Amino acid sequence: MNEKVQEAINNQINAEIYSAYLYLSMAAYFDSISLEGFSNWMKIQAQEEMTHAMKFYDFVFERGGKVVMKAIEQPQAEFKSPLEVFEKTLEHEKEVTSLINNLYELAVREKDYPLESMLKWFIDEQVEEESTAANIVDKVKLAGDKGPGVYMLDKELGARVFLPSTETKEK
């Protein structure tokens, strides 16, 4: 693995861990306003992001590279509403998609075929991540900020369970 690719993957590991940290911050916001189902959804999202980080981490070592852990930026902690949180979630997932696409472009330029192959899973995953976030934004808009709609959506989001996506989608 060349240095440029290794550095880019280390940056992606940092971005994935930051994503987990951001989603935990969002979970804390939801817990603070007694929306435990919304919080559950974010906690599971954080677990998924850590799984993604570890997939990159393991990939570096499988290729004989070196992982360098970098400082994690502090995420936003205060939010105005559930809608703002999920709009920011969608925006963040679009940023992650851009990072994955840039990493794929680097892999193509550097003729790093193993990285290209591995990133195809992440490209597909990001389509799902953006679609899911957009769907929840739409549901939160329908439900509004208070009342029975939010209660029902909280119950729906609370039913989410963690499934290690990197294992289930590869098989």
Other C-beta atoms within 10 Å of 52: how many? 25
* 164 band by pLDDT with thresholds 50, 70 and 90: confident
pLDDT of residue 165: 64
Query: Is residue 18, in this structure, part of any structural domain at all?
Result: yes
Query: Is residue 89, in this structure, part of any structural domain at all?
Result: yes
3-state SS of 46-115 is: HHHHHHHHHHHHHHHHHCCCCCCCCCCCCCCCCCCCHHHHHHHHHHHHHHHHHHHHHHHHHHHHCCCHHH
Query: Is residue 27, in this structure, part of any structural domain at all?
Result: yes
Q: Across all residues in the chain, what is the average pLDDT?
A: 94
Query: Is residue 167, in this structure, part of any structural domain at all?
Result: no
- The answer to whether the beta carbons of residues 140 and 86 sit under 8 Å apart is yes
Average pLDDT rounded to a whole number, residues 17-28: 98
Query: Is residue 171, in this structure, part of any structural domain at all?
Result: no
pLDDT of residue 42: 98
Q: pLDDT for 61-103, tens place per residue?
A: 999 999 999 999 999 999 999 999 999 999 999 999 999 999 9
Tell me how many domains the chain contains.
1
Query: Is residue 166, in this structure, part of any structural domain at all?
Result: no
pLDDT of residue 169: 38
Query: Is residue 170, in this structure, part of any structural domain at all?
Result: no
Q: What is the CATH number of the domain that holds 109?
A: 1.20.1260.10
Query: Is residue 148, in this structure, part of any structural domain at all?
Result: yes
- The answer to whether the beta carbons of residues 63 and 107 sit under 8 Å apart is no
Domain range for 19 is: 3-161
